[in-house]
Every structure is written in structure tokens, then in C-alpha cells.
Chains A and B, each alone.
Chain A
Amino acid sequence: MERYLYFCNPNDSGAPNASGELALYSTNSLRSIFALSANKTRIAFSAIDGTSSTEDAVDLTHADGDHKNVFNSLIAMVNAEKTNNPFVVVADKEHGIFNIPGVTACEISYNV
């Protein structure tokens, strides 16, 4: 079963209504996960515009040095250990839901 990772980061208090505020990626399009900075983990996906020479990115903010725990939790979600629902909410700022312990924010950057 194909699974999809949901990210939502509205810039204001309302629902997502602008570019870069919401994204749903197939787990098949996930390319790599790596430490971007002391308190950020980047998830790289195949670009949504279909180009093969660039990538989309979702950056998760968390405590300093907590990358490995975030990697581990995210991969558990990719493999849907705790649910068979193909729709997997990773970070939903609109509703205050962050399903990886310690993650407090997300930023979405994609190519369109």
C-alpha cells in the first residue's frame, strides 16, 4: 500500500491558503533525510514539478541534536508501524498536530 506524508504550515492563524503552506508527498518520492542544522532535519522529496535535477524539502524543527530520534520516528511513519491508514500526518500546524515527539514546526519548500 502506498502511503502519503502530510505537512501543513500556514503562515497565519487560518487554513493553508498559499504556496508552500501545504504538501502531501508519496513515501516513494522521499529521497533522503539529513541534519540541516543543529535543530532542523530536512526531508528531501522528488520535486513536484517533475524535474529530476532538483528536490523539494520539508524542514522539521526540533530540539538541538535530536535528529536521530526524528529520523527514527519519521521512518516508522513511512512504514506505518502504528496505522494502516495511507494518509499519515507528520506535521499539521493548522491543527497543532505534530506526530513526531519533539517536533515543533515545519517549513515546506517546493518547485512549481
Chain B
Amino acid sequence: MKTNFLYFKERGYQQFTYSTGAQTFTINGAENWDHTVGSDTHVKVTVTDISAGTDYVIADDGKSYSTNVITIAAASANGFDLDAGDIVTIELIPGAPSTETEACFRADKLLSVHSNSATATEITFKATNGTGADDTVVLTHTSGKFPLIADYIAGVLNGSMQNSGGFTTVCDRQAGVMGKGLAEAGVTKMLLEVVQS
């Protein structure tokens, strides 16, 4: 019998085009980040040097973080001297924060779909470490859309929406891919947690 898995990925990616002035970039806006970044070591910062046509990954000691702002140091301090038009890509490093950002859960380990509020629905799975605490996915969405999400999950559990391999993308916030019909829920944020030993 096929084992079905449900895939979730948080959003954590933003691009900037540098113009002039300070080499600072504000992140953690709700439209680009599900997880609130709290350290420069939680993100990978890549500069696309437009004139050279190459990518350069900034080393940890060449970047810093303070109150939602990532600063790229000068090249002399292991950073990069930006020119107008250079593209700065900042993306969450999976596993770098204390919580996980991307996971597949077994459909047959689902414990519940329940509403935490009118705008928050939590999906729980039997914990990865086997203890009582659950693995969780919390979706923030348009008010009153819990029934739609619950109906979707019920459909997935019954295999009506599976592809041939048993892999179903429920919510890939990074790629903007949602399960069939789930886009109507208006999900604006997703946080997942895998309970490990």
C-alpha cells in the first residue's frame, strides 16, 4: 500500500537591487518571511556582481544583523563592495534557526487539524521523536477558512489528490505552490516545527 507524504516549506527569501549608500537590507517583512530571522547566521547572503556576471556568497564574518537589517561589510572586512545594479539575495538557511523550515510528514501520522483562532489553523502529526509533543504546521489565513483547509486535508488523507508517487505539496510558500483549491484559504504565513530528540 502506498505511503503518502505531505510536503510543507516556509517562505524565507528576498532579493534587492543595490543602488547607492549604506549596504543595508531590511528583511523579515511578512510578504517575504514566515520565520523571523534573528541572526545573520540564519541566512545565506549572495551578491550577484552584475559587471562580472558572477555570484559571491558573503562569509559569516562579512555580514551582520541588527533589528531586521542585514548589513554587508566592505570587501576589506570579508564583505563586498556593492555597485549600483548588483543584486543581493538573502535566503533562510534550512535548519539554521532553532526551528525547521521544510519537511515531509506521513499522512498516516496525522493527529488533527484544528483551529487556533478564526485566522489560524494547526495541523498536527505524531512527533518525530516519538514523545507526546506533536510535529506541527500552523497556517495563518483569511478568517473563516478553517473548513476549507480541513476539507482539503481530509481529501489528501483519502488519497483523492495524490500524485502517483505519494508526494503531495500541500504548502510550498517559497515557490508559491499550494494544494489544489487551498489557495482560496488566503494563507499569509506558515510555520512548521519538527520535534526532535
Contacts and interface: CB of A to CB of B under 8 A. Distances in A.
Bound pair (A, B): yes
Interface of A: 27, 30-38, 40, 44, 46-47, 51-55, 64, 67-68, 71-72, 75-76, 78-79, 81
A32 B130 CA distance: 11
A51 B197 CA distance: 12
B130 A31 contact: yes
Q: Is the interface of B mostly helix, strand, loop or mixed?
A: loop
B96 interface: yes
Contacts of A79: 2-3, 165-166
Given A40-B95, A75-B167, A31 B3 contact: no
B164 interface: yes
Contact of B106 (A30, A40, A47): A30
B196 interface: yes
Interface in B22-74: 44
Contacts of A32: 103-106, 109, 125, 128, 135, 194
Contacts of A46: 130
B100 interface: yes
B3 to A, nearest CB: 5
Contact of B130 (A33, A53, A68, A75): A53
A68 B101 CA distance: 12
Interface in B82-112: 93-96, 100-106, 109
Given A44-B194, A72-B167, 17 more contacts: A31-B126, A31-B128, A32-B103, A33-B5, A33-B103, A34-B104, A36-B94, A37-B94, A38-B93, A44-B129, A44-B196, A51-B130, A55-B128, A55-B129, A71-B5, A72-B165, A78-B3
A79 B165 CA distance: 7
Nearest to B126: A31
Nearest to B172: A68
